[in-house]
C-alpha cells in the first residue's frame, strides 16, 4: 500500500468536490484531498506505531487542512459548513 494518492483517486475527488472539471485549486478540493491523505496516513500509523517521520507528515497535513478550513470559514461560511458536513469533520 502506498501512502500517496494515485491519479484516479485524485480525479474522483476533484470531480466530486470541484466546481468544474480540473478545478484543483478551490479550497474544497484541497481540503478533500488532504482529508483523504490524512485518513490513509492514520491507518498506516495504526500499524506502524514507531514511524515518527510519517507522524510528523500527518501533523503537517492536519495543520494545512486547518488553515484552509479557517480561510474558508472567514471568506464564505456557507461553503465552510457544506464541506464540513460532506466530509464529516468535527470542528
Please state, in angstroms and rounded to a whole number, the distance separating the CA atoms of residues 72 and 69. 5
How high is the pLDDT of residue 91? Answer: 73
Backbone dihedral angles phi then psi of residue 87, each to the nearest 5 degrees: -90, -10
- Domains in the chain with CATH codes: 5-85 (1.10.287.10)
Closest-CA residue to 16 (of 35, 39, 38): 35
How high is the pLDDT of residue 3? Answer: 56
How high is the pLDDT of residue 90? Answer: 87
pLDDT tens string, the chain, 91 residues long: the values are 455 678 999 999 999 999 998 899 999 999 999 999 999 999 999 999 999 999 999 999 999 999 999 999 999 999 999 999 999 998 7
Amino acid at each position: 500500500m502506498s501512502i500517496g494518492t494515485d491519479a484516479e483517486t485524485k480525479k474522483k475527488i476533484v470531480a466530486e468536490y470541484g466546481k468544474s472539471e480540473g478545478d484543483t485549486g478551490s479550497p474544497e478540493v484541497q481540503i478533500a484531498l488532504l482529508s483523504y491523505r490524512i485518513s490513509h496516513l492514520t491507518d498506516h500509523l495504526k500499524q506502524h506505531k514507531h514511524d515518527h517521520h510519517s507522524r510528523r507528515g500527518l501533523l503537517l497535513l492536519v495543520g494545512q487542512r486547518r488553515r484552509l478550513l479557517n480561510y474558508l470559514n472567514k471568506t464564505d461560511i456557507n461553503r465552510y459548513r457544506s464541506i464540513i458536513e460532506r466530509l464529516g469533520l468535527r470542528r
